[in-house]
A and B are shown apart, each in its own frame.
Chain A
Amino acid sequence: GQQLNQSPQSMFIQEGEDVSMNCTSSSIFNTWLWYKQDPGEGPVLLIALYKAGELTSNGRLTAQFGITRKDSFLNISASIPSDVGIYFCAGQLSMNAGNMLTFGGGTRLMVKP
């Protein structure tokens, strides 16, 4: 099935470093979402973006909805060991969550204490 292009596929960083990952699509989305998934669990929503150009923060996480509506990035500042996991971007066409999500392939983050 179709997925968004997410990069990098994996990152291995030192605790305290900042992290940046991004997601691009050939299609326009009206909503961009960022999720974190721990092993054996379902994805957990981190940040939701509803408007082109929007910049939203949630603690140490900051995400932006690209102006073209075809891309988004997620930054994590001052990483800590519990940030380890797989981060997924997801695009949605409908703003009221009635339609499906299209997911990226994920960025696996590993943090060295």
Chain B
Amino acid sequence: SAVISQKPSRDICQRGTSLTIQCQVDSQVTMMFWYRQQPGQSLTLIATANQGSEATYESGFVIDKFPISRPNLTFSTLTVSNLSPEDSSIYLCSVEGPGQGGPPLHFGNGTRLTVT
């Protein structure tokens, strides 16, 4: 299965600043997914990042707030901009596993963001 390295693992940021999260995969993948996991809640898909094209954002998420880069097939960044306390969450990078029949997702260890 894919090995996903995500950093930073945690950060404390002041409101109004931005945080950029990096995600590195040990194999080439077409799609990379960014999720948000708010305290005590489930995962919500923020966007899907395809190499060479604009990311596709889910309802309720916009590029100005969550700009994404995908410069190559093994790397992506998610920036959370103009931070407010409501952005305090765990942010997870994920990729699809190989195989047919609905392959599972593989996740990084997440970035725990606290906004003060």
A-B interaction: no
Binding site for A on B (CB under 8 A): none
